[in-house]
Chain A
Amino acid sequence: MEIGLNHYLVLSTILFCIGLIGVMRRKNLLMLFFATEILLNAVNVGFAAISHYYGDLTGQMFAFFVIAIAASELAVGLGLLIVWHKRHGTIDLDTMSSMRG
């Protein structure tokens, strides 16, 4: 059985679904970060598959930039998370309501 582009796109969709479910149901901010990593990886799989099946390197380039963005997002986000945890002792999403009107 031949594996085509559609197989990879379906896999990418399923992984994206799992990431979105994680984003919606997680309360802990660290777990929310894990879910965003899953989202970015799902997109990377789609990029690499399209790059392979159309013989074009642009998809791989975009995947590299997505990886760079994921790394910098993590560095800044984790720093903010550590500062928040030092001040409030929790990283629960529900406690971050200081700007509620």
Chain B
Amino acid sequence: MFEAVAFYLFAFLTITMFYITVTTAQALYALSALAAGMIFISAFFFILGADFLGAVQIIVYTGAVMALYAFGMMFFDTTREVKENHGNKYIVVGLSVVAAVMVVAIFSAPIISTNMQAFYPMVEGAGNTEQVGMVLFTKYLVPFEVAAIMLLVAMVAGIVLAGKKMDLSLTLMNAEEIQAAEDEKNKKVLS
């Protein structure tokens, strides 16, 4: 009973928040709604007994990803209303529904139709975090290390791409210096 109430409540909240995210014209509303939706998603993980995954969801998505988005939005003009692609709305919605149903059917049909055996069954008498650690650091050690290298590469790429000309500050320079920097920038774009 409690599970059903929690499921329907959080399903409603998540769908509402994500719907606001994809339909609103204000970038700030979209960001806030997305952050709320991420937190509500973690509730499903807690209901499903995947406590560690829920904690990681809150920390990574609402902690790191949302902070990075908020930081990135400082670079863009977010107060302006976002212009939308007003094509045929029914075609867009219809194609989306068909594609989503197809994807879920393709991936869940083999799981439901065959009598699936647990590949790495849950260990009795161990907490979720302990089980995750046991499987992650034995069976999935190589993918774990590869993911670590991928995150390192992404971090270096982010610093290299976004960190260019960070030492220049437009508010601390006088007019001639700003003009010189602008000229150099235009030269680079044109070449």
Would A48 and B73 count as touching, CB distance under 8 A?
no
From B18, B30, B87, B154, A25 is in contact (CB under 8 Å) with B87
Q: Mark B175-189, 1 if CB is under 8 A from A, else 0.
A: 000000000010001
Would A67 and B61 count as touching, CB distance under 8 A?
yes
Would B57 and A68 count as touching, CB distance under 8 A?
no
Interface size class of B (residues with CB under 8 A): 35 or more
Interface size class of A (residues with CB under 8 A): 35 or more
Answer whether A37 and B65 are a contact pair too, CB < 8 Å, given A1-B4, A17-B97, A30-B27: yes
Which residues B68-89 have CB closer than 8 A to chain A? 68-69, 72-73, 75-76, 82-87, 89
Answer whether A64 and B136 are a contact pair too, CB < 8 Å, given A20-B96, A78-B72: yes
Q: Mark B107-121, 1 if CB is under 8 A from A, else 0.
A: 110011000101111
Answer whether A56 and B120 are a contact pair too, CB < 8 Å, given A48-B50, A67-B60: yes
Whole-angstrom distance between the alpha carbons of A79 and B54 in the complex? 27
Whole-angstrom distance between the alpha carbons of A72 and B161 in the complex? 13
Chain B residues within an 8 Å CB radius of A78: 68-69, 72, 158, 162
Chain A residues within an 8 Å CB radius of B104: 9, 12-13, 16, 46
Give the Cβ gap from A61 to chain B, nearest Cβ, in Å. 5
Which residues A7-56 have CB closer than 8 A to chain B? 7-9, 11-22, 24-28, 30-31, 33-35, 37-38, 41, 44-46, 48-52, 54-56
Chain B residues within an 8 Å CB radius of A70: 60-61, 65
- Scoring A16, A33, A70 by chain B CB atoms within 10 A of each residue's CB, the highest score goes to A16
Chain A residues within an 8 Å CB radius of B99: 20
**B-binding residues in A (CB < 8 A):** 1-3, 5, 7-9, 11-22, 24-28, 30-31, 33-35, 37-38, 41, 44-46, 48-52, 54-58, 60-61, 63-65, 67-76, 78-83, 85-88, 91-93
- Pull 21 A–B residue pairs with CB atoms less than 8 Å apart, ordered by A: A17-B97, A18-B15, A25-B89, A26-B85, A28-B27, A34-B21, A37-B38, A38-B34, A46-B104, A48-B45, A48-B53, A55-B118, A56-B121, A57-B121, A60-B52, A61-B120, A65-B147, A71-B151, A79-B159, A79-B162, A86-B185
Given contacts A11-B11, A57-B131, 12 further A-B contacts (CB under 8 A): A11-B14, A17-B100, A18-B19, A30-B27, A37-B61, A61-B120, A61-B132, A65-B143, A68-B150, A79-B162, A82-B162, A86-B75
